[in-house]
Amino acid sequence: MMKTNPGRFFEDFRLGETIRHATPRTVTTGDVALYTALYGPRFAVQSSDAFASAFGYARAPLDDLLVFHVVFGKTVPDISLNAVANLGYAEGRFLRPVYPGETLNTVSEVIGLKESSNRQTGVVYVRSTGTDAAGQAVLSYCRWVLVRKRDPEAVIVAEAVPTLAKAVAPEELAAALPPLDAAAYDLGLAGSPHRLGDYAVGERIDHVDGMTVEEAEHQIATRLFQNTAKVHFDGFAAKDTRFGKRLIYGGHVISLARALSFNGLGNAFSIAGINAGRHVAPLFAGDTVYAWSEVLAVAELPGRDDVGALRLRTVATKNQPCAAYPDKAGEGYDPAVILDLDYWALMPR
Amino acid sequence: MMKTNPGRFFEDFRLGETIRHATPRTVTTGDVALYTALYGPRFAVQSSDAFASAFGYARAPLDDLLVFHVVFGKTVPDISLNAVANLGYAEGRFLRPVYPGETLNTVSEVIGLKESSNRQTGVVYVRSTGTDAAGQAVLSYCRWVLVRKRDPEAVIVAEAVPTLAKAVAPEELAAALPPLDAAAYDLGLAGSPHRLGDYAVGERIDHVDGMTVEEAEHQIATRLFQNTAKVHFDGFAAKDTRFGKRLIYGGHVISLARALSFNGLGNAFSIAGINAGRHVAPLFAGDTVYAWSEVLAVAELPGRDDVGALRLRTVATKNQPCAAYPDKAGEGYDPAVILDLDYWALMPR
Amino acid sequence: MMKTNPGRFFEDFRLGETIRHATPRTVTTGDVALYTALYGPRFAVQSSDAFASAFGYARAPLDDLLVFHVVFGKTVPDISLNAVANLGYAEGRFLRPVYPGETLNTVSEVIGLKESSNRQTGVVYVRSTGTDAAGQAVLSYCRWVLVRKRDPEAVIVAEAVPTLAKAVAPEELAAALPPLDAAAYDLGLAGSPHRLGDYAVGERIDHVDGMTVEEAEHQIATRLFQNTAKVHFDGFAAKDTRFGKRLIYGGHVISLARALSFNGLGNAFSIAGINAGRHVAPLFAGDTVYAWSEVLAVAELPGRDDVGALRLRTVATKNQPCAAYPDKAGEGYDPAVILDLDYWALMPR
């Protein structure tokens, strides 16, 4: 009997099935230190137990994206080992803070299947849920990936394209955080004087700084998340691909852009929802990442007078600073753009 | 008086002497996170406190090879600073799980000395024992290294070649683990459906995946283990060596091969013994490591109905996938082979 | 309103003003593991809880330079974002051990301002103080940096050049450490037989070993310290600078030199004071760092019979081993020299 995991092909997925993923993972302050070292985030809530507990947390919670990557990594061997491309994200909700010492698991439900017209591939839609050791959800999101068929002739029994929300509603964000004391949030220590009310819809912010990515860095990060996608690690096999080199995990770009966004969004301390996300172009080692953001909406959260939500669109580029806000262009994007992420960040009011 | 450590030369070792090594080291969840980030292991027992404690551990133990590398690293300044080559390992026994927060020390006994016929070098055999803060052994293994003489004319007083076991006996493995509850071992979460009885002697498994190694990665790993061997770090001096570049610590290859072996051996969660090990050829940054394994034996452990042992031979290669199981060839090995490791892994029954 | 931080220019500083820096940071065993992995320190006190507590500490304290870098990193966005060069350090005092779990903050006082004669730049002198969560100082040091003016015509209101001590007095070092039990300090485990009395003024020690630095390593380190200086990270922008590549954070060199100095100074377990420091030349990825030290003074500490102080000058070079002690030469330095650091290290008597 074959002992290695060949991964699922498109025809192996069944609409409505639930997939429990390996490997359970206890996240620790060791993971937090590595996350800091890999991306350089400076949001005070995640950086300081003292700051976080004065504000109302039990202690410094994990960076939301560290939670996301750990939860995501578990899905790779079951969902995307034979994927051609990661197409998008939607309906991402961070349901409560995760603290060092907690154990994370992931389950996914297949919520959509759509064969490609050439019958070589198909799109798999899953809703993945990260849970704690007790099985309570801490994160939920949908993603869809283009997956190869093992056999183009295989017949797909049931197909469906799910209807996904264009955006997470602000009222769904309110439970993401414990009750907080906005007066105890020290703007000086946090490094930015701007509260929620200082941001205006339509405002654009160039995050200015750039970060060059090395092979060792993205490999260390991707292994930390126990993400096993071969394209990120096997430089020998990569020589025969269309790119000729290793691809950087798309989540690495998201974390870099988020860390860069501190310069301009220093009090947007928590990601509570992911409305939409697209990896527009691949990133490779040696490239330098820049980012800019646009404020799409400013929202109050029902029942909360401590924090409100900024709907942000953060665009990341490679090898092009963002003073000119490189963006969509014609049918596609400016060729420098690599990421277009639409999300909700929470901020003290 | 000379303050720096020149290391011992062959004629400085005395048969039967005991060497206490520096530096004591408290291993932490920080080390665990780095180990995960450097190699990408996915064995559930070491990854999750919840999984490990349900199975019968106090919490997630350290990866056995992390313990090995930390114990090994301490021996370098005393044993192998003037080594020409690390020749082999035998009689390795992991005696109990090590947990974050414990402090490790190492002592070595010189169990053999054999001068080379050209009198330029000699083989030093040591049995090294890793201990906890109370001095209790947690790991024991023999290794032998070819060490330069300071003075070819120096006379070696006592020589002896130790008789080392071809393999650790299964009954010596039984104490390596606490009593475990095999029924509580969740195969789904662990990521592989195969228990001990599913493996057959002679079975070969291609672990499929490849991992390219960067200079920063092996340096970060080797320093983490406080292994000071100059050949791994000094690129300037390396330019004048026969390889012209830094050599990667052999233990880095072992850990990469072990992590790759998860794909096919996902429930072989603990290494309990090392029967024999040989670094067949050097590895350099930029090379991609692959691995395959052969099942040499399947053994029950006396008094244990929870776990049994697989005797495995894991062969690692560079820049050559292992679908064809590259192996010994004629007097030597296929030129792609870099590691040949014979060990016992424990698995739920 | 502009949301990003443009950094202060020379004319923005006011003599006597106090600047509270972001971002508070809880340091953990995760940070300790990364520090070990990045530099390879082997001082037993910082490596082992068991060793440290037998000696008189609560547990293993953080490496003093890890504390320094975290405290320093916070000052960058406010002090040196528009700096041309980091000119020097003085009056550095480590006031007590810092342990994992503590939260660090930094405040700086502007103690000097001196416009350059060309009016394009000016030297800013600050005294920066690292504090714990309760606001108690753990580290204090002065540094001065050459900072660009936004407007060369801007008039500087008040100028002053502070008088800084040539060296920290030994009596100021005594409080840096808790009462220790010199008899409990195990020289064998520490890895060096030399106590304070074994070192003589004028003695020079070649630390022998070399360490080649990779881009990924210094970036990971510098982000760990939440130091945001663009020159260390943005390889794309660096192409248009006079060096054409990323510069390595000077503190990275200090930590490398300190870790290399273990070989010869194995019991100089704590840095208690920094008398003077100068980054003589820049370091780039691919360079190999070596170091040598000179004993400038051997001092008893008032009221302490457990430890004494060595005043050391450690010189680091790039791509040149230090057997010949490369040093000052004529008006400047041997071209291989990159660091000249004068500091007090404590050692068991």
| Contact assignment for C223 to A39 by CB distance below 8 Å | yes
Burial class, C202, CB count within 10 angstroms (exposed 0-12 / middle 13-18 / buried 19+):
exposed
C191 vs B: CB within 8 A: yes
B319 vs C: CB within 8 A: no
Tokens representing C282 are 């820049």
**Mean of the pLDDT values across residues B166-188?**
95
CA distance A108 to A137: 12
B219 vs C: CB within 8 A: yes
The C-alpha of B223 sits at a distance from chain C's nearest C-alpha, in angstroms, of: 5
Q: What is the pLDDT of residues A158-171, one digit of tens each?
A: 999 999 999 999 99
Sort out which chain B residues have CB atoms less than 8 A from A26's CB and list them: 47-50, 60
CA distance C105 to C26: 9
Output the pLDDT for position C69.
98
Q: Name the percent of chain C lying above pLDDT 90.
A: 96
Output the pLDDT for position C137.
98
Sort out which chain B residues have CB atoms less than 8 A from C28's CB and list them: 30
Q: Which residue has the tokens 């490679």?
A: A318
Q: Which of B65, B62, B36 is nearest to B49 (CA)?
A: B62
| Contact assignment for B47 to A226 by CB distance below 8 Å | yes
- Beta-bridged to residue C123, according to DSSP, are C114, C146
Q: What is the pLDDT of residues B64-82, one digit of tens each?
A: 999 999 999 999 999 999 8
Domain assignment of residue B112, yes or no: yes
Q: What are the residue ranges of helices labelled H in chain B? A: 29-39, 44-47, 49-55, 64-75, 187-190, 215-224, 235-238, 250-260
Sort out which chain A residues have CB atoms less than 8 A from B321's CB and list them: 236-237
| Contact assignment for A49 to C103 by CB distance below 8 Å | yes
Q: Which of C28, C38, C49 should be substituted to probe chain B, the one whose Cβ sees the most B Cβ atoms within 10 Å?
A: C49
Assess contact for A254 and A313: CB atoms under 8 A: no
CA distance B207 to B264: 6
Chain B residue nearest residue A230, CA to CA: B209
- Beta-bridged to residue C317, according to DSSP, are C290, C337
Domain assignment of residue C97, yes or no: yes
The C-alpha of B63 sits at a distance from chain C's nearest C-alpha, in angstroms, of: 15
CA distance C192 to A163: 68
* Chain A neighbours, 3+ Cβ pairs < 8 A: B, C
Residue C56 per-residue DSSP state = T
B105 vs A: CB within 8 A: no
Domain assignment of residue A183, yes or no: yes
Instruction: Return the number of other C-beta atoms located less than 10 Å from residue C62's C-beta.
Output: 23
| Total length of chain A | 349
Q: Which of C108, C139, C149 is nearest to C125 (CA)?
A: C108
Q: Which of residues 43-62 of B touch A (CB under 8 A)?
A: 43-44, 47-51, 60
Burial class, C47, CB count within 10 angstroms (exposed 0-12 / middle 13-18 / buried 19+):
buried
Assess contact for B298 and B199: CB atoms under 8 A: yes
CA distance B341 to B335: 16
| Contact assignment for A223 to B60 by CB distance below 8 Å | no
Q: What are the residue ranges of helices labelled H in A209-349? A: 215-224, 235-238, 250-260
Q: How many CA atoms lie within 13 A of A197 on its CB side?
A: 3
CA distance C56 to C46: 12
| Contact assignment for A22 to B205 by CB distance below 8 Å | no
| Contact assignment for B48 to A23 by CB distance below 8 Å | yes
CA distance C233 to A208: 12
CB neighbour burial string for C233-272, b if at least 16 within 10 angstroms, e if fewer: bbbbbbeeeeeebbbbbbbbbbbbbbbbbbbbbbbbbbbb
Cβ-based neighbours of B186, under 8 Å, separated by 6 or more: B44, B51, B54
CA distance B343 to B94: 11
Task: Identify the domain containing residue C114 by its residue range.
Answer: 10-348
Chain C residue nearest residue B30, CA to CA: C30
Q: Which of residues 8-27 of C touch A (CB under 8 A)?
A: 20-26
The C-alpha of B157 sits at a distance from chain C's nearest C-alpha, in angstroms, of: 26
**Mean of the pLDDT values across residues B336-341?**
98
B210 vs A: CB within 8 A: yes
| Contact assignment for C216 to A212 by CB distance below 8 Å | no
Smallest Cβ distance to C42: which of B133, B214, B226? Answer: B226
Domain assignment of residue A4, yes or no: no
Assess contact for C62 and C31: CB atoms under 8 A: yes
Tokens representing A345 are 């960040």
B1 vs C: CB within 8 A: yes
CA distances from A304 to A269, A307, A349, B198 (A): 16, 6, 10, 56
| Contact assignment for A22 to B44 by CB distance below 8 Å | yes
CA distance B273 to B197: 19
Q: What is the pLDDT of residues C1-20, one digit of tens each?
A: 689 998 999 999 999 999 99
* Chain B neighbours, 3+ Cβ pairs < 8 A: A, C
Cβ-based neighbours of C284, under 8 Å, separated by 6 or more: C243, C245, C246, C247, C248
Domain assignment of residue B4, yes or no: no
CA distance C293 to A346: 51
**Mean of the pLDDT values across residues A247-271?**
98
What is the number of domains present in chain A?
1
A328 vs B: CB within 8 A: no
Residue A115 in 3-state DSSP?
Answer: strand
Confidence of residue A175 (pLDDT cuts 50, 70, 90): confident
pLDDT at C25 over 70: yes
Q: Which of A185, A191, A195 is nearest to A51 (CA)?
A: A185
Confidence of residue A13 (pLDDT cuts 50, 70, 90): very high
pLDDT at C262 over 90: yes
Instruction: Return the number of other C-beta atoms located less than 10 Å from residue B331's C-beta.
Output: 5
| Contact assignment for B50 to A226 by CB distance below 8 Å | no
The C-alpha of B319 sits at a distance from chain A's nearest C-alpha, in angstroms, of: 6
Determine the residue type at A71: V
Beta strands in chain C (DSSP E): 18-26, 83-94, 103-115, 121-131, 137-148, 204-206, 211-212, 270-279, 288-301, 304-318, 328-329, 332-333, 337-348
End-to-end CA distance of chain A: 59
| Contact assignment for B22 to C191 by CB distance below 8 Å | yes
- The alpha carbon dihedral of A72, A73, A78, A82 has a sign of positive
Among A1-5, C166-170, C182-186, whose mean pLDDT is lowest?
Answer: A1-5
Smallest Cβ distance to B234: which of C31, C189, C209? Answer: C209
CA distance A159 to B25: 57
pLDDT at C299 over 70: yes
Q: What is the pLDDT of residues A225-255, one digit of tens each?
A: 999 999 999 999 999 999 999 999 999 999 9
Q: What is the pLDDT of residues A296-344, one digit of tens each?
A: 999 999 999 999 999 999 999 999 999 999 999 999 999 999 999 999 9
Rounded to the nearest integer, the mean pLDDT of chain A is 97
Smallest Cβ distance to C28: which of A33, A212, A286? Answer: A33
Rounded to the nearest integer, the mean pLDDT of chain C is 97
Domain assignment of residue A1, yes or no: no
Output the pLDDT for position C309.
98
Confidence of residue B157 (pLDDT cuts 50, 70, 90): confident
Sort out which chain A residues have CB atoms less than 8 A from C5's CB and list them: 191-192, 263
| Contact assignment for A263 to C4 by CB distance below 8 Å | yes
Assess contact for C261 and C347: CB atoms under 8 A: no
C158 vs A: CB within 8 A: no
Cβ-based neighbours of B116, under 8 Å, separated by 6 or more: B122, B123, B146
Q: How far is CA B39 from the centre of its chain?
A: 14
Assess contact for B47 and B16: CB atoms under 8 A: no
Q: Which of C205, C208, C224 is nearest to C216 (CA)?
A: C224
| Contact assignment for B3 to C194 by CB distance below 8 Å | yes
- The alpha carbon dihedral of A140, A144, A150, A156 has a sign of positive
CATH code for the domain in which residue B162 is found:
3.10.129.10
Output the pLDDT for position B1.
66
CA distance A163 to A168: 13
Domain assignment of residue A3, yes or no: no
Cβ-based neighbours of B144, under 8 Å, separated by 6 or more: B87, B88, B112, B123, B124, B125, B126
CA distance A67 to A83: 22
Output the pLDDT for position C1.
66
Domain assignment of residue C3, yes or no: no
For B121, phi and psi rounded to 5 degrees?
Answer: -145, 175
**Mean of the pLDDT values across residues B203-217?**
98
Confidence of residue A1 (pLDDT cuts 50, 70, 90): low
Q: Which of C8, C18, C23 should be substituted to probe chain A, the one whose Cβ sees the most A Cβ atoms within 10 Å?
A: C23
CA distance A298 to C257: 50
* Chain C neighbours, 3+ Cβ pairs < 8 A: A, B
The C-alpha of B7 sits at a distance from chain A's nearest C-alpha, in angstroms, of: 32
ipTM > 0.85 (yes/no) = yes
Smallest Cβ distance to C38: which of B105, B133, B223? Answer: B223
For C55, phi and psi rounded to 5 degrees?
Answer: -80, -20
Provide DSSP, A125-185.
Answer: EEEEEEE-TTS-EEEEEEEEEEEE-S-TTPPP---B-----SS--GGGTGGGS----GGG-
CA distances from B287 to A234, B101, B263, B335, C280 (A): 9, 35, 20, 14, 36
Q: How far is CA A98 from the centre of its chain?
A: 15
A101: left (phi over 0), alpha (psi -120 to 50) or beta: left
The C-alpha of A328 sits at a distance from chain B's nearest C-alpha, in angstroms, of: 35
How many Cβ pairs within 8 Å bridge chains B and C?
Answer: 139
C134 vs A: CB within 8 A: no
CA distance A246 to A230: 9
Q: Which of C223, C239, C241 should be substituted to probe chain A, the one whose Cβ sees the most A Cβ atoms within 10 Å?
A: C223
The C-alpha of B24 sits at a distance from chain A's nearest C-alpha, in angstroms, of: 20
| Contact assignment for C223 to A37 by CB distance below 8 Å | yes
Chain C residue nearest residue B21, CA to CA: C189
